[in-house]
Chains A and B, each alone.
Chain A
Amino acid sequence: MPAIVVKNLSKQYKTVLAVDDISFTVKRGSITALLGGNGAGKTTTIAMLLGTLQPTAGSIHMLGIDMLKNRYRALERMNFSSPYVDLPRKLTVRQNLRVYGKLYNVKNLEDRINRMAEELDLREFIDRPVGKLSAGQQTRVALSKALINKPELLLLDEPTASLDPDTADRLRGYLDDFRKEHGTTFLMASHNMKEVERLCDDVIMMKKGKVVDEGTPKELIKRYGRKDLEEVFLDIARNTGTRENAA
């Protein structure tokens, strides 16, 4: 059974059709990228997948659970991280992880926090308020919050934003190892095409609220006759190449 099944999903705001009848599936245990330029509908799609935005039409099944009817059962087994949603800045890293660990009903929470601190290198600042940390440190803390419940499905928005190349690279390695160890499925929105090429098994391309193409990074590069995913992205964004033309 796929981790995510989206069928005929649409979101209409008064006069704007933000997501237009999209369908896709995400395989269990895969890392899939949701790509598209600004206004493509990625954020709207992710918000609907998380249940914070109600679709106008269509269905969403996460881990086999109907999100429109029973989203809390699915949310217990999922998590989310985004540099655009803050963790409470007055609370220390440890306090934040305690609060979110309890929200996700994590067993042996203190052990889990210590393990996260070890693996994501948080020990040095674990008792400092999140608001006093650098942007890169905050991104790591946000990621540790997202992994605290060992989610079966993780939605990531720009997971390595604000990180220096070295830390970003180590973090990608960590996410890949985490996936192998726990079988977690990742759906990530990113503008870093190198990251997507390195990490992702599948790519879903969105434009103007529609899914315009999908496949593995290699398939897409081959289909568009380009040397890397960045060029494919530009082709799609600028209409200089299409799936049909490429085929």
Chain B
Amino acid sequence: MTPAFTRVQAVLLRHIYVLRSSPPRLIEIIYWPTIQMVLWGFISSFFANKGPALGGSMGVAAFGTLLGAVLLWDMLFRTQLGVTLSYLVEVWARNLGHLFVSPLRPWEWWLSLMIFSILRALVGMLPAAALAIPFYGFSIFDLGLPMLFFFFNIMFMGWWLGFLIMALLLKYGQGAETMAWALTFFLAPFCAVYYPIASLPQWLQPFSNALPAAHVFEGLRALVHQHTYEAIHMWWAFGLNCIYMCVSLFVLTIAFNGARKAGTLLQSGE
């Protein structure tokens, strides 16, 4: 085992220990995706059954799209939160001093936060996805291999968003903590989660097209409605994610070096 791998394992172990020591934290990870799934499931079910009485009808496909979108959106948010909260846990524990004077390289730390965010997101998402099967007869797993690409791209976006927020936290301290919860939701209206990009005003569509998540949700809609996997959406999402990941790591490196210069690396208070 290489020293780098052992150090990545150490950070993972540290966060797994935190989760294990705190049942409320573990429950919270499962709680929100499940509540989202139950809530949106019943709303979708209501519109699917009572749609005609309300002047329209919502087909089974739209029902699937909505539930799939809920799960994917939550996956994006949980992945971003997984990265950001892992950093905040170190700030709250006043442990950054020990981490930064250890041989842990920044890239090893970032990699371990990405891996941990996958674990965190899966722990939260899998029970919700499993619940949707008996409750609503909807299985996201039936969407097959393309679903893996959707998940990968969604998590990819969660990672770079998480790193950008980490950069803000390094720059502005805990005062920027609300960003951990707010920034991803700011992007939600433009990510075309519950409606196609075409339903946005014309002038907003380029902005939406520049977001990887919007392509993932377009791809999901194509898969569920037309049963076609439009790979072009995934390639767009992947390409954009690569660009944004480079940008966010660059910004994070600048913020890290800036904090080292300003002497604020270990003083991440308010």
Contact = CB atoms under 8 A, between A and B. Distances in A.
Do A and B belong to a common assembly? yes
Given A52-B101, A75-B103, A100-B98, A90 B22 contact: yes
* 8 tightest Cβ-Cβ pairs between the two chains A and B: A85-B97, A102-B10, A86-B94, A76-B103, A105-B3, A103-B10, A103-B102, A99-B14
Nearest to B18: A90
A233 to B, nearest CB: 26
Nearest to A50: B101
Interface in A65-89: 72, 75-76, 78-80, 82, 84-89
B263 interface: yes
B263 A85 contact: no
B9 A88 contact: no
Interface residues of A, number: 35
Contact of B95 (A53, A72, A86): A86
Interface in B40-87: none
Given A90-B22, A105-B6, A82 B97 contact: yes
B265 interface: yes
A32 interface: no
Contacts of A183: none
Interface of B: 3, 6-7, 9-11, 13-14, 17-18, 21-22, 93-95, 97-105, 257, 260-263, 265-266
Contacts of B3: 76, 105
17 contacts: A47-B263, A50-B100, A52-B100, A80-B97, A84-B97, A85-B97, A87-B95, A87-B98, A90-B93, A91-B18, A95-B13, A99-B14, A100-B10, A100-B98, A103-B104, A105-B3, A105-B6
A75 B10 CA distance: 16
B266 A47 contact: yes
A53 B103 contact: no
Contacts of A105: 3, 6-7, 103
Contact of B105 (A13, A72, A85, A95): A72
A92 B149 CA distance: 39
A7 B260 CA distance: 20
A241 interface: no
A103 B7 contact: yes
B95 A75 contact: no
B93 A89 contact: yes
Contacts of A29: none
A90 B101 contact: no
A89 B89 CA distance: 11
B133 to A, nearest CB: 35
A90 B261 contact: no
B86 to A, nearest CB: 12
A105 B93 CA distance: 23
Nearest to A85: B97
A61 interface: no
A89 to B, nearest CB: 6
B184 to A, nearest CB: 26
A89 B95 CA distance: 9
Contact of A102 (B13, B100, B260): B13
Query: Which of A50, A86, A99, A100 has the largest count of B CB atoms less than 10 A from its CB?
Result: A99
A104 B262 CA distance: 27
A103 B265 CA distance: 19
B198 to A, nearest CB: 48
Nearest to A79: B101
B101 A51 contact: yes
Interface in A160-207: none
Contact of A52 (B18, B104, B266): B266
Interface string A97-109: 0111111110000
Contacts of A82: 97
B102 A104 contact: yes
A85 B94 contact: yes
A145 interface: yes
Nearest to A78: B101
Nearest to B262: A13
Contacts of B98: 80, 85, 87, 100, 145
A90 B17 contact: yes
Contacts of B10: 98-103
Contacts of A75: 101-103
B263 A53 contact: yes
A84 B97 CA distance: 9
A80 B161 CA distance: 32
Contacts of A11: 263
A129 interface: yes
Contact of A54 (B13, B17, B93, B261): B261
Most chain A beta carbons < 10 A, residue from B6, B94, B102, B266: B102
A12 to B, nearest CB: 10
A45 interface: no
Given A72-B105, A103-B103, 20 more contacts: A13-B263, A44-B263, A50-B101, A51-B100, A52-B265, A75-B102, A78-B101, A79-B101, A80-B101, A86-B93, A90-B17, A90-B22, A91-B17, A100-B10, A102-B6, A102-B7, A102-B9, A104-B102, A105-B6, A105-B7
